[in-house]
């Protein structure tokens, strides 16, 4: 059978997963009466809740006796480590671009990676049936993007299709019949080279491991494309690191091939197919699985370095251990090391005291997803404010700079530019993008964007969109003013009383409601002024034996501000932590005792 290996790449929310759903349906991968969830490829709970793809996943469809292996990739830059590895095992890419939005930061990021590998993209202008779609403008922008990324003549001569993934049609011209996705299947088979032309079936077996997962029955499973040779269950292989060092020798216990949404055991895998292999115990992502006679490792795609880090520590608040069952530092360490093994974009380091762990990654979203997964597994953690990772280049401190592409209504553009300038951003481009809209492109330090998204949504009344991508390393741009307000800190431990909160509401906005458990040193809200204020949320109304002539007024409290995990982590200052448990997200001071806080503050001031 003929084989084609393709990856679907695009910016977040441009319709990759929905298009794959339709490809599976129209290829007959589902029975006519089969119940299939919408966005079937997004199987992870967090992916379904947030409507984003986090993990790259493989599937396959059969069309006219051709097996097409398809990889659905994440659209967020934070999960770019997944995209980079996947591109090394495909022979072509389908670049999906929203016909209204045009190329966005992540489009640029993944396209640059694909072009550097010599892949020839197929451009699909998706959502071409939207009222605000401008497919001709989007196509011109794609061509300009390719030219700016130094695409060769062959890559610039890309086939173009117009499509609607949700409606299940694609066509070469918008005047053609909009019926099904057959034109896309046809272009993939005609334009993407068969792997048999790129690999040699008669050579010894070689495969580069691109994704890793753990199975309770099969143990460690590595997925990749067979670069050369054939493999059968029971065959002895060796695992080799990037520098050619032998890691281990093992026997293949199972070979799994992707067929539709399921993985099926197969007796043999041939050069060019994408398969998962079980049997190894130490070999991991970016290592080479090969015949014992092979001495050279397959070159692995370099991974962009982490740009942001947070400290994971044990939960030492008075309420520690009430929600979760995984509270010891050794259990947290073991879980983080397991994550670093499967996620090459994350780096784990011990702190000098050994009680906490510095976790570095691509961005707040990626680290937020890791923390969210851990709290659902029963972990209790204390998380520090994100810090950027600096680099020493030629004896000078450099920091990561991000390219932010912002679409806002014209009336808000001035406010947005002012705020980004305060955060050391440099304006690169500003132009109209549709009726009453402005597109702003800026280069901003990563630390300047920490916590900015919530402020941005408030400033644009929820109408703006902000997309960001790592751009480069640049010399340190100086201090950026942090949060301008102080916080309200509890001076007691117990249950918050409505009367106390009501009388303190003029001091600031609260993050907690009445009847919630609080403790000394916990942050209850945001102060109106720039200093921290200790308050007593347990103070009830004093009762006397003299009755008032009228009834007491009912206490009506303002609805508290509830923060998501990412918002809480971005909000806190350097001397504060986020307490994360399976049922609660609390903000607290690093030192709960007020006297200890004053002592540490004096030491910091004198240092």
pLDDT tens-digit profile of 325-339? 888 989 999 999 888
Q: Is residue 252 part of a domain?
A: yes
Same domain for 186 and 254? no
3-state SS assignment for residue 551: coil
Query: Of all residues in the chain, what percent carry a pLDDT higher than 70?
Result: 86
Please tell me the predicted confidence (pLDDT) of residue 53: 40
Same domain for 594 and 569? yes
pLDDT tens-digit profile of 194-240? 875 455 667 899 998 887 777 778 888 888 888 888 889 999 999 99
Tokens in use for 251?
């026997």
Q: Is residue 338 part of a domain?
A: no
Out of 12-16, 54-58, 153-157, 600-604, pick the least confident: 54-58
Q: Is residue 546 part of a domain?
A: yes
pLDDT tens-digit profile of 574-597? 889 999 999 999 999 999 999 998
Q: What is the CATH number of the domain that holds 78?
A: 3.40.50.300
| pLDDT level of residue 324 (50, 70, 90 thresholds) | confident
Domain containing 502: what range? 487-606
pLDDT tops 70 at residue 107: yes
Q: Is residue 404 part of a domain?
A: yes
Q: Distance between CA atoms of 60 and 582, rounded to whole angstroms?
A: 37
For residue 604, give the DSSP letter.
H
Same domain for 119 and 25? yes
Q: Where does residue 376 rank: exposed (0-12), middle (13-18), buried (19+ CB within 10 A)?
A: exposed
Q: What is the CATH number of the domain that holds 249?
A: 2.40.30.10
Tokens in use for 279?
């049997």
Same domain for 169 and 213? no
pTM (two decimals): 0.72
Out of 1-15, 133-147, 224-238, pick the least confident: 1-15
Same domain for 188 and 268? no
State which of 290, 320, 348 marks the end of a domain: 290
Same domain for 464 and 505? no
Number of structural domains found in the chain: 4
Q: What is the CATH number of the domain that holds 556?
A: 2.40.50.250
Q: Is residue 318 part of a domain?
A: no
Same domain for 514 and 601? yes
pLDDT tens-digit profile of 495-514? 999 889 998 999 999 999 88
Same domain for 573 and 525? yes
Beta bridge partners of 578: 383, 587
State which of 421, 448, 475 marks the end of a domain: 475
Same domain for 187 and 278? no
Same domain for 52 and 173? yes
Q: Distance between CA atoms of 113 and 251, rounded to whole angstroms?
A: 34
pLDDT tens-digit profile of 178-203? 888 888 889 999 998 887 545 566 78
Beta strands in 165-245 (DSSP E): 169-171, 206-208, 211-215, 219-228, 230-232, 236-240
Same domain for 521 and 468? no
**Residues 457 and 514: beta-carbon distance below 8 Å:** no
Torsion of CA 217, 222, 223, 225, to 10 degrees: -140
Q: What is the CATH number of the domain that holds 437?
A: 3.30.70.240
State which of 195, 223, 245 marks the end of a domain: 195
Same domain for 584 and 445? no
Mean pLDDT (the chain) is 82
**Residues 123 and 161: beta-carbon distance below 8 Å:** yes
Q: Is residue 379 part of a domain?
A: no
For residue 129, give the DSSP letter.
T
């Amino acid at each position: 059978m003929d084989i084609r290996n393709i990856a679907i790449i695009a910016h977040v929310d441009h319709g990759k997963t929905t298009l794959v759903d339709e490809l599976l349906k129209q290829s007959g991968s589902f029975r006519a009466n089969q119940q299939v969830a919408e966005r079937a490829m997004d199987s992870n709970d967090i992916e379904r809740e947030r409507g984003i793809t986090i993990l790259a996943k493989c599937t396959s469809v059969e069309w006219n006796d051709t097996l097409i292996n398809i990889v659905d990739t994440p659209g967020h830059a934070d999960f770019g480590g997944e995209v980079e590895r996947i591109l090394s095992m495909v022979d072509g890419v389908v670049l999906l671009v929203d016909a209204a939005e045009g190329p966005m930061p992540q489009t640029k990021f993944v396209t640059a990676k694909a072009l550097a590998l010599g892949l020839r993209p197929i451009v699909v202008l998706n959502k071409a049936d939207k009222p605000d779609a401008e497919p001709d403008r989007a196509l011109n922008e794609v061509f300009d993007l390719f030219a700016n990324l130094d695409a060769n003549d062959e890559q610039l001569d890309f086939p173009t299709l117009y499509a609607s993934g949700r409606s299940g049609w694609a066509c070469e011209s918008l005047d053609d019949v909009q019926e099904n996705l057959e034109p896309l299947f046809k272009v993939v088979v005609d334009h993407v080279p068969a792997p048999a032309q790129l690999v040699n079936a008669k050579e010894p077996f070689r495969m580069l491991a691109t994704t890793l997962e753990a199975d309770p029955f099969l143990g460690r499973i590595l997925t990749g494309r067979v670069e050369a040779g054939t493999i059968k269950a029971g065959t002895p292989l060796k695992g080799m690191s990037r520098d050619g060092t032998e890691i281990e020798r093992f026997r293949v216990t199972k070979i799994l091939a992707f067929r539709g949404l399921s993985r099926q055991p197969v007796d043999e895998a041939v050069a060019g197919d994408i398969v998962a292999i079980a049997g190894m115990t130490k070999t991991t992502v970016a290592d080479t699985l090969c015949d014992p006679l092979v001495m050279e490792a397959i070159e692995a795609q370099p991974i962009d370095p982490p740009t942001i880090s947070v400290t994971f520590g044990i939960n030492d608040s008075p309420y520690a251990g009430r929600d979760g069952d995984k509270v010891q530092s050794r259990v947290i360490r073991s879980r983080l090391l397991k994550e670093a093994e499967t996620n090459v974009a994350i780096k784990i380091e011990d702190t000098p005291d050994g009680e906490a762990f510095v976790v570095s990654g691509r961005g707040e979203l990626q680290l937020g997803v890791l923390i969210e997964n851990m709290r659902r597994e029963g972990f209790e953690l204390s998380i520090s404010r994100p810090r950027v990772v600096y680099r020493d280049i030629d004896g000078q401190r450099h920091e990561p700079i991000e390219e932010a592409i912002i679409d806002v209504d014209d009336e808000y553009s001035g406010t947005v530019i002012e705020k980004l300038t305060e955060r050391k951003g440099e304006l690169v481009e500003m132009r109209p993008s549709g009726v009453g809209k402005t597109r702003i492109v800026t280069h901003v330090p990563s630390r300047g964007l920490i916590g900015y998204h919530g402020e941005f949504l408030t400033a644009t009344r929820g109408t703006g969109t902000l997309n960001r991508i790592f751009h480069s390393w640049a010399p340190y741009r100086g201090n950026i003013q942090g949060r301008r307000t102080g916080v309200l800190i509890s001076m007691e431990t117990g249950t918050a009383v409505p009367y106390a909160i009501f009388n303190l509401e003029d001091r600031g906005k609260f993050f907690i409601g009445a009847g919630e458990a609080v403790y000394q040193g916990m942050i209850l809200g945001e102060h109106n002024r720039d200093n921290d204020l200790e308050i007593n949320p347990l103070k009830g109304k004093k009762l006397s034996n003299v009755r008032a002539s009228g009834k007491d007024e009912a206490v009506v409290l303002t609805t508290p501000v509830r923060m998501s995990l990412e918002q809480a982590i971005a909000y806190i200052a350097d001397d504060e932590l986020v307490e994360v448990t399976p049922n609660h997200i609390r903000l607290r001071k690093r030192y709960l005792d007020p006297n200890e806080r004053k002592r540490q503050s004096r030491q910091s001031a004198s240092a």
